[in-house]
Amino acid sequence: MIDVELLRTNPDLFRESQRARGGDVTAVDQALEADASRRVSLTEFETLRAQQNAFGKQVARAPKDEKAALVAQVRELADQVKQAEGRARTAEEQFSVAVRGIQNLVLEGVPEGGEDDFTVEREVGEHPRFDFEPKDHVAIGEHLGLFDLERGAKVSGARFYYLTGWGARLELALLNLALDQAIAGGFTPMITPTIVNPEIMQGTGFLDQHSDEIYHLDADDQYLTGTSEVALAGYHSDEIIDLTAGPKRYAGWSTCYRREAGSHGKDTRGILRVHQFNKLEMFVYTTPEQALAEHQRLLGWEEQMLQKVELPYRVINTAAGDLGSSAAQKFDTEAWIPTQQTYRELTSTSNCTTYQARRLGIRYRPEEGGKTAPVATLNGTLATTRWLVAILENHQQADGSVRVPAALRPYLGGIEAITPES
């Protein structure tokens, strides 16, 4: 949720932000109107309620024989209170709907426009040159017995797979490498719930734009999470947290579920785009002042991971229209995929400023004993199953084996390459 006070004092800020996103600019004026009428009806109700409360005390103090008369007198007032309360509640709900139509304020430096309007921040590493015809990750995986796509489809349908043998071990190695890096960086490791209640899913902002991407369990009215960001953001919901010792940094390990609705026919081959995968996610609660610097730190940790597994990549600054409703700025890192001759997203880090925290009621005290204020939340990817695609393709060798980057070897029994025999 946006800062309503800022909306009142500086609505142009929000109009401009909505415009940059290609979003609904009229939502700003709708919210302003709804706010005004909500305050009017709230004052009406509270004035009447105050009268009623005062009267209630009179009734309580009055001698028995006078009570009946007083009660008769106040009956009409009670009715008015009830009606005013109803109006106030309706206005409150309308306001809440209107204000939810406004997405997070886009930060300075975010390019305007849609999916293709990102800017490239930097490219790192060299594209591999092969003196043989490189195979795509599916061919490599089949050759080395790393995953079983056919049986995945047989058991669970399209976009499901089994990781097998060294494939399973490679994923665990990657996630453990990421976890160890996170721990070294001061993150608290977490294994999170992957089923959450509606208010948590709502609070993170995923239900607005990505609702058809999310699995819903009808029998229980709960959601499967597409990232542990959801559970980690909900972790401190409705709490006043202590940030005096610095940011709270969590590293969430979880399976992620995505319906991939609307991507039919896209990336159907292999494990690039799947309904279920594993991920290690960084999530940070910090002060609004710290958020910008923390975002750069998260990006830095992501790049460290990419460098550890020796992948060529670029960093892009996502355009406003491609941001989630909660994000004020987002950087993706994309690894080079040789057989596609293009970059594909491996990580994504968002600065949600105070937007998510407002919705989820997460606050801190800027000054000891002072008033509370919403915290800033940020998230970023450290490793996912998808990374296997880039690792396999970039590190494949002429003999059909895949070289294991040095950083991963300790997690794979020390082997230097995955071969059909290993």
> Where does this chain bind RNA (CB under 7 A)?
4, 39, 42-43, 45-47, 49-50, 52-56, 59-60, 67, 71, 74-75, 77-78, 81-82, 240, 363, 371-372
Q: Which helix (H) or strand (E) holds 344?
A: strand 342-351
CA distance readout (Å), 367 to 3, 248, 263, 372, 375 = 20, 17, 48, 8, 13
H helices within 238-384, ranges in order? Answer: 291-308, 355-360
Q: What are phi and psi of 60, to 5 degrees?
A: -65, -35
Least spacing, CB of residue 37 vs RNA, in Å: 11
At its nearest, how many Å lie between RNA and the CB of residue 71? Answer: 4
Angle between helices 166-184 and 387-394 (to 10 degrees): 110
Catalytic residue chosen out of the listed positions 15, 39, 273, 314 = 273
For the question of residue 365 being annotated catalytic, the response is no
**Among 21, 38, 258, 297, which one carries the catalytic annotation?**
258
Q: Is 256 exposed, middle or buried (0-12, 13-18, 19+ CB in 10 A)?
A: buried
Contact by Cβ (8 Å): 111, 320: yes
348 tagged catalytic: yes
8 carries an active-site annotation = no
260, 345, 403, 422: the active-site residue: 345
Closest approach of Cβ 212 to RNA, in Å?
26
Residue 326 annotated to the active site: no
* Angstrom distance (rounded) from CA 340 to CA 393: 10
- Asked if residues 384 and 332 have their Cβ atoms less than 8 Å apart, the reply is no
Residue 345 known to be catalytic: yes
**In whole angstroms, how close is the CB of 385 to RNA at the nearest point?**
22
Q: Are strands 119-124 and 313-317 parallel, antiparallel or unpaired?
A: antiparallel
Which position among 41, 228, 348, 401 bears the catalytic label? 348
- Taking the least distance from each CB to RNA, the nearer of 71 and 153 is 71
Distant-in-sequence, close-in-space partners of 192: CB < 8 Å, separation ≥ 6: 225, 228, 231, 232, 235, 252, 253, 254
Whole-number Å distance between alpha carbons of 344 and 158: 21
Torsional sign, CA 90, 91, 95, 98: positive
Integer angstrom CA distances of residue 419 from 137, 171, 173, 311, 422: 14, 16, 17, 20, 5
Beta carbon of residue 142, minimum distance to RNA (angstroms, whole number): 29
| Closest distance of CB 31 from RNA, Å | 12
Residue 53 or 397: the one with the smaller Cβ distance to RNA is 53
CA distances from 245 to 38, 185, 186, 367, 386 (A): 39, 15, 12, 13, 35
Measured from the CB atom, the residue of 73 and 209 that comes closer to RNA is 73
Q: 19 or 365, CB closer to RNA? A: 365
Q: What is the rounded CA–CA span in Å between residue 312 and residue 14?
A: 38
Q: For residue 181, which of 302, 290, 279 has the smallest C-alpha distance?
A: 302
State the minimum distance, in angstroms, from the CB of residue 243 to RNA.
15
Residue with tokens 């079983």: 148
User: Which residues belong to the active site?
Assistant: 258, 273, 345, 348, 386
